[in-house]
Amino acid sequence: MRSQVEELAGIRERVLAGPSEKATAAQKAKGKLTVRERIGLLLDEGSFQEVEPLRRHRASGFGLEAKKPYTDGVVTGWGTVEGRTVFVYAHDFRIFGGALGEAHAAKIHKIMDMAIAAGAPLVSLNDGAGARIQEGVTALAGYGGIFQRNTKASGVIPQISVMLGPCAGGAAYSPALTDFVFMVRETSQMFITGPDVVKAVTGEEITQNGLGGADVHAETSGVCHFAYDDEETCLEEVRYLLSLLPRNNRENPPAAPCDDPAGRRCESLADLVPADGNRPYDMTRVIEELVDDGEYLEVHQRWARNIICALARMDGQVVGIVANQPQTLAGVLDIEASEKAARFVQMCDAFSIPIVTLLDVPGFLPGVDQEHGGIIRHGAKLLYAYCDATVPRISLILRKAYGGAYIVMDSQSIGADLTYAWPTNEIAVMGAEGAANVIFRRRIAEADDPEAMRAELVKEYRAELMHPYYAAERGLVDDVIDPADTRRVLIGALAMLRTKHAERPARKHGNPPQ
């Protein structure tokens, strides 16, 4: 027995050491950590329990029979993050370039099934060269199994994809199916067809990072939710995100001790937000005033900046915040902002995260490009997401809320549980100037002094239909509150709604706009 134990110890030592010092040096030369260093940063120290470390492929031909390394290029298992169970699989680029083969895929399938059964988050650390060409269609079938499980787990357990190297071809669809995508600048790329194929087909020349690097996907495509300069920071932020999410859809997000008083007055809010609806301001400063200790995690920070989506805590409880950003495009809704907010609302609803919506929206962005690009269809995605959400929903109108954008941004008419407004709010079909031009067009044209008449009628319209208490008088706003009391009011309302239960009609699933 002793000799067998010693043999096992030797095998495990080789597994932990990795394929070779040369392969490890090549990995380090690219500025990348090894697979086990990454897992060590992600999980609590000493908590990782590996599954199938001795697995090897059984393929033959094309030189594979002479090379059968342990793990087959992917490390799988579970551990804890802040004491809560998390499952993980991580490609080892040093073995077959992290390419996926039959055994490699079977390990991933198994750990995904375990995560779903255990009801715990799944994190993938991606650093692979796609399907293993030597294994042919078997490798492709392995990806199919991953995609099927990504879909099965969607809305059941949090799924986080961390891109730490290349991810090309069909492999890129797995991260696209998950809840959040993290990337590291310079070392991670995602694309369906690489630069060589693009050049051959279109004649365009572009680098890997220019085609599918972290900044491209964080700012232009919206594929990436978070982008960081190094792996250490990236994995630290993954841990932070996990601390804000429940383990599965049957649990609430974890509460945390809070030293920030729930009744703290936010006196600075009255000065942060100008009364003049045409003056911009930074909505992130409003969010900082409202949430615990000014801390929040913004999702898609660099994409569709005219809307903010963030996770934060209020009185220790996790909330999702959707807010117009007047500093960018005056906070209008457009195609990208609608898509961004819709996906975020759906995620919050799936994982029992209450939603607070902060409105200061002048409407939808006008333009031929927007109309031809399908703003109706894309705007409907946000409308559908809010209408379909059953979590507690509170909206707050800070300043203006005009037209269809007011309805879409979780108005009371589409199911918001509570709607509050500040004394500066204006709710209307459109701004007073535009409304007066439409309603009183003839009177203005026939007046001796059209400009003076227009100014008078604008003032009249604003006084009659856009004063701060008009909506409250008609029951469309539950209360008009002092901005300084906003934190206290929101926390009290969220506490009341914590036991909310919403009945839904029997159906297989809805058919949301795409």
Which active-site residues does the annotation give?
169-170, 404-405
**Contact between 162 and 235 (Cβ < 8 Å):** yes
Residues with Cβ within 8 Å of residue 392, at least 6 apart in sequence: 354, 355, 417, 493, 494, 497, 498, 500
| DSSP alpha helix (H) spans, 136-275 | 137-153, 173-177, 195-202, 208-212, 214-216, 231-244, 269-272
Q: Which segments of 80-203 does DSSP mark as H helices, in order?
A: 102-118, 137-153, 173-177, 195-202
Are the beta carbons of 147 and 187 closer than 8 angstroms?
no
Tell which residue, 223, 226, 194, has the closest CA to residue 207. Answer: 194
Asked if residue 157 lies in contact with residue 247, where contact means CB atoms within 8 angstroms, the answer is: yes
Residue 228 phi, psi dihedral angles, 5° rounding: -135, 165
Q: Cβ(512)–Cβ(422) under 8 Å?
A: no
Nearest-angstrom CA–CA distance, 267 and 11: 64
Q: How far is CA 425 from the centre of its chain?
A: 29
Size of the chain, expressed as the number of residues it contains:
514
CA distance 382 to 346: 9
- Residue burial 377-406, b: 16+ Cβ < 10 Å; e: rest: ebbbbbbbbbebbebbbbbbbbbbbbbebb
Distance CA 365, CA 247 (A): 38
What is the β-pairing status of strands 84-91 and 74-81? antiparallel
Strand partners, 84: 81
Contacts of 447 by beta carbon, 8 Å cutoff, 6+ apart: 453
Structure tokens belonging to residue 295: 């801390």
Q: How far apart are CA 380 and CA 362, in angstroms?
A: 17
Alpha-carbon 440 to chain mean position: 45
- Cα angle 376, 357, 162; round to 5: 80
499: Cβ contacts below 8 Å, ≥ 6 apart = none
Tokens found for residue 435: 């409304």
